[in-house]
Amino acid sequence: MASIFTKIINGDIPCYKIAETDKFFAFLDINPNAKGHTLCIPKAEVDKLFDLDDDTYLELMAFSKLVAAAIKKAVPCKRVGMTVIGLEVPHAHVHLIPLNSMEDARFLSKEKLSDAEFQDLAAAIRANL
């Protein structure tokens, strides 16, 4: 069965899209640690990041770096952190999280955003790509 992220790539589930290439996709995390929390994924449905072939892994890092730079310009923060977990969704993904304190990296306190806030954030990040 297709992962929830494959369904997002295919447009079967809505998302707040940030970027797309032939191999990669980026969108806002629906339950963000902080405003601008973004997920970068390969379109290939591979569960674990370190099981990606080397080329795809390195290209995902390069794609994530571009997205992180756009987040940094669009979202006030000290830095953009990168985290890999994968306990919830078995489709490799990189979390890019605008950090102002260690709390933002802990996946415990979450931001509740309106649809309009998600849309504005996505548009602001896209504008800086």
* Residues annotated as catalytic (active site), given as ranges: 93
C-alpha gyration radius of the chain: 14
Q: Which of residues 91-120 bind ligand AMP (CB under 6 A)?
A: none
Smallest distance from the beta carbon of 100 to ligand AMP, in angstroms?
Answer: 18
Comparing CB distances to ligand AMP, the nearer of 84 and 127 is 84
Q: Give the residue, chosen from 22, 54, 88, 115, that forms a contact with ligand AMP under the rule CB under 6 A.
A: 88
The number of residues making up the chain comes to: 129
Considering only CA atoms, which of 94, 104, 118, 11 is closest in space to residue 46? 94
Query: From the centroid of its chain, how far is CA 26?
Result: 5
Is residue 90 a contact partner of residue 47, using CB atoms and an 8 Å limit?
yes
87 binds ligand AMP (CB under 6 A): yes
Binding positions for ligand AMP, rule: CB under 6 A: 4, 13, 15, 29-31, 39, 85-89
